[in-house]
Amino acid sequence: MNAETDTTEEAGARTIRMEVMRFRPGEDTEPVFQGYDVPLMADWAVLDGLNHIKDQLDGSLSYRWSCRMGVCGSCGMTVNGEPRLTCGTFLTEYGQGPVRIEPLKGFPVIKDLVVDIDDFLAKLSSVRPWLIREGEELPLTTEYAQTPAQLEAYKQYSMCINCTLCYSACPVYVLDPDFLGPAAIALAQRYNLDSRDMGDRFDVLNLDDAVWGCTFVGECTRVCPKHVDPAEAIQRYKLTAALRSVLPWSRR
Amino acid sequence: MKRTLEPYLWLLFSGGGVLAAFLLPVLVLLFGVLMPLGVVDWPTAEHLSALLDNVLVRLALLVVAVLCLFHAAHRIRHTSEELLGIARFDLVVAVLCYGGAIAGGVITALLLF
Amino acid sequence: MTAGGSASSGASPGASPGASSGASQGAFVRTGAAGYRPGRDPLWFARTRTYTLFVLRELTSVFVAWSVVFTMMLVDAVLGGTLPDFAALAARPWMIAINVVALAATVFHAVTFLNLAPKATVVRLDGWRVPAWMIQGGNHSAWAVISAAIAYFVLRTP
């Protein structure tokens, strides 16, 4: 907090203080907070405040965003200690302020509020999050209709937008980045429970650092903006994997 | 494929958790709080030993004790590693925790039979 | 969000006048020596209320173990004919204090454990998923019935 600068708006307008974590690679050895006063508008999300800073006050600020409507999953940051999508978190939630914006915890910081999610992307692809089919020739022409019950079996887990808020909220992942983590396991379950899927993800999920690393803190579920409930997905697979270990002939 | 003991440990943990939830609060309430405070009278030693005479009761007590101890061992192992940051000594911590549970189970078995 | 799209939007090269050489190599920035990873936070469990509740939930296991030990001390006293000594020990104030905490801990364990059980066990009846509150209600009812039965068998006078 030693590099605080004051940037005051014109007098009269209501403002809110945003304390934004800055980290300039190659220059800073550790992050510092920088304060900005931005207009406190009823319809402004935290992301609007950041855009105001970037456009009007300090063009050097770096952060990720894209859709502004909670579907792209790029704008996750730590807002007053909580992992949130900044496009869906309103400045008025924080009253008089200040609002403290930090990058998502648990990931290396590339610059300012931008974190490196390569680790998550590698974990995600390791669970093969797609429909695995066997014995089919290209081009695929057959349709596979599903009943509403078959859709319901996995639909909740398919809502994930890969925003990584669950990783940031998970103390197991933050303490030990080898943990496969909530979203990857939830997405593995999304395909495990799909009637069209023919794959088997037991070998990647039944590992000490996969489902067995989870101690069911439940924070992933609490912070998930899409109500995926990764904690449930993990506990369900624990039961599946345990039953398969005890009864080797059972598949699910 | 990499083998892991975790599924079996988790089943013991879960079973012990259920038994601990169902059985321990009432036992602690009766023998640890209400009877020592004089709210309810201690049952006679004859009454209690009559209960323990039933071999099924003793077997059930042994199963409950072992599973509850495994439940505790599993949680103490994970929580101590998370709280103290000693996950790299997992093998030692695990041997201590589950070893303690096994030792407790053996002592209980000797006590009851 | 895709890897390429998301990485390019915020950390675009030239956005920061002070950007190091890493940012000028292209839109896709990878962390190297410049990436910052904070050290382990030794007080992580005190940072949010939910983390603290989680740690307290896990620490109930210490008292679960204690309750088993206490029960086995009781069994030993009953079988060895030293129940009055055990009763005197249990009536010591510090022993009562431990057991009051153990009671609170085992009750907290029971409430949390029985409430979380429906997460692992998804029950479907003919495609209809039994709602969590029904499973939880069943668990808590079973807890009450079992507790009452144990109290009855311990306290009944022949």
* C133 and C151 share one domain: yes
Q: Which positions in chain A touch C17 (Cβ < 8 Å)? A: 60
The answer to whether the Cβ–Cβ distance between C30 and A23 falls below 8 Å is no
Positions of E strands within C43-132? 124-125, 128-129
Going by pLDDT thresholds of 50, 70 and 90, the confidence category of residue B2 is low
The tally of domains found in chain C comes to: 2
Question: Among partner residues A172, A175, A207, which is closest to B4 by beta-carbon distance?
Answer: A207
Which pLDDT band, with edges at 50, 70 and 90, does C158 fall under? low
Contact check, Cβ <8 Å, C151/B30:
yes
Establish if B90 belongs to a structural domain.
yes
What's the whole-number mean pLDDT along residues B2-20?
A: 93
CATH number at residue B80: 1.20.1300.10
pLDDT of residue A7: 47
If one counts every other C-beta atom within 10 angstroms of the C-beta of residue A110, the result is 27
- From C45, which residue of chain A is nearest by alpha-carbon distance? A171
Instruction: Closest CB to B4: pick one of A175, A208, A215.
Output: A208
B11-15, C17-21, C85-89, C102-106: lowest mean pLDDT where? Answer: C17-21
C125 touches chain A (CB under 8 A): no
Q: How many CB atoms lie within 10 A of CB C149?
A: 11
pLDDT tier for residue B79 given thresholds of 50, 70 and 90? very high
C67 pLDDT band (50/70/90 cuts)? very high
Q: Is A204 on the interface with B (CB under 8 A)?
A: no
pLDDT of residue C118: 85
Distance from CA of C101 to the nearest CA of A (A): 23
- Three-state helix/strand/coil letters over chain A: CCCCCCCCCCCCCCEEEEEEEECCCCCCCCCEEEEEEEECCCCCEHHHHHHHHHHHHCCCCCCCCCCCCCCCCCCEEEECCEEEEHHHCEHHHHCCCCEEEECCCCCCEEECCEECCHHHHHHHHHCCCCCCCCCCCCCCCCCCCCCHHHHHHHHHHHHCCCCCHHHHHCHHHHHCCCCCCHHHHHHHHHHHCCCCCCCCCHHHHCCCCCHHHCCCCCHHHHHCCCCCCHHHHHHHHHHHHHHHHHCCCCCC
Query: Do residue C51 and residue C24 come from a single domain?
Result: no
- pLDDT over 90 percentage in chain A: 83
Question: Residues 66-105, chain B: which have Cβ within 8 Å of C?
Answer: 68-69, 71-76, 78-79, 82-83, 85, 104
Nearest C-alpha of chain C: how many angstroms from A127?
17
C32 and C109 in a single domain? The answer is no
**Do C13 and C72 lie in a common domain?**
no
* Model pLDDT, residue A8: 47
Please give the structure tokens belonging to residue C42.
């030794």
Q: What is the mean pLDDT of residues C76-80?
A: 95
Domain shared by C88 and C14, yes or no: no
Annotated domain spans of chain A:
15-115, 118-246
Transcribe C12-57 into DSSP letters. Answer: -TTSSTT--GGGGG-SS---STT-B-----TTGGGSSHHHHHHHHH
**Chain A CB contacts of C126 below 8 Å:** none
Query: Are residues C26 and C56 part of one domain?
Result: no
Q: Which residues of chain A have pLDDT under 50?
A: 1-11, 252
Q: Which residue has the tokens 């004790």?
A: B65
- Do C92 and C148 fall within a single domain? yes
Closest by Cβ to C35, choosing from A110, A175, A239: A110
> Which of B14, B49, B76 has its CB closest to that of C61?
B76
* Confidence label for C12 from pLDDT (cuts 50, 70 and 90): very low
Work out the angle between the directed axes of helices C93-120 and A230-246 (0-180°, nearest 10): 90
Number of domains chain B contains = 1
What is the dihedral sign for C-alpha B51, B53, B56, B60?
A: positive
Q: Read off the pLDDT of residues C104-139 as tens digits, 9 standing for 90 and up.
A: 999 999 999 999 988 888 887 777 888 889 999 999
Choose which CATH entry (3.40.50.300, 3.10.20.30, 3.30.470.10, 3.40.50.970) describes domain A15-115: 3.10.20.30
Assess whether C104 and C141 both reside in one domain: yes
Residue-level length of chain C = 158
What integer pLDDT is reported at residue A13 of this predicted model? 73
Whether C7 shows a pLDDT value over 80: the answer reads: no
Residues C31 and C82 in one domain: no
Give the CATH number of the domain where residue C68 resides. 1.20.1300.10
Contact (CB<8Å) C143/B22? yes
* Residue B106 placed within a domain: yes
User: Hey, is the C-beta of B59 within 8 angstroms of any chain C C-beta?
Assistant: no
pTM: 0.88
Q: Which amino acid is at A191?
A: Y
Nearest CA in chain B to A175: B82
Q: Are A98 and A86 in contact (CB under 8 A)?
A: no
Is B36 within 8 Å of chain C by CB? yes
Q: Do B20 and C151 touch (CB under 8 A)?
A: no
Domain span at residue B74 reads 6-112
What number of C-beta contacts closer than 8 Å exist between A and C?
A: 133
**A171–C7 C-beta distance less than 8 A:** no
Tell me which chain A residues have a C-beta less than 8 angstroms from the C-beta of C9.
Answer: 64-66, 74
pLDDT for the residue C98: 98
Asked if residue B1 is part of any domain, the answer here is: no
CA atoms within 13 A on the CB side of A106: 30
- Fold of the CATH domain A118-246: Fumarate Reductase Iron-sulfur Protein; Chain B, domain 2 (1.10.1060)
CB contact under 8 A, B6 and A172: no
Tally the C-alpha atoms within 13 A of residue B93's C-alpha that lie toward its C-beta: 18
Compare CB distances from B87 to A176, A241, A246 and report the shortest one's residue. Answer: A176
| Domain assignment of residue C120, given as a range | 44-155
**pLDDT surpasses 80 at C75:** yes
Which residues of B fall below an 8 Å CB-CB distance to A?
1-2, 4, 6-8, 10-11, 78-79, 82, 85, 87
B86 inside domain: yes
For residue B78, give the amino acid letter: H
Q: For C87, what's the count of Cα atoms within 13 Å in the CB-facing half-sphere?
A: 16
Task: Output phi, psi for C128, to 5 deg.
Answer: -90, 125
Query: What does the pLDDT look like over C53-63, one tens digit per residue?
Result: 999 999 999 99
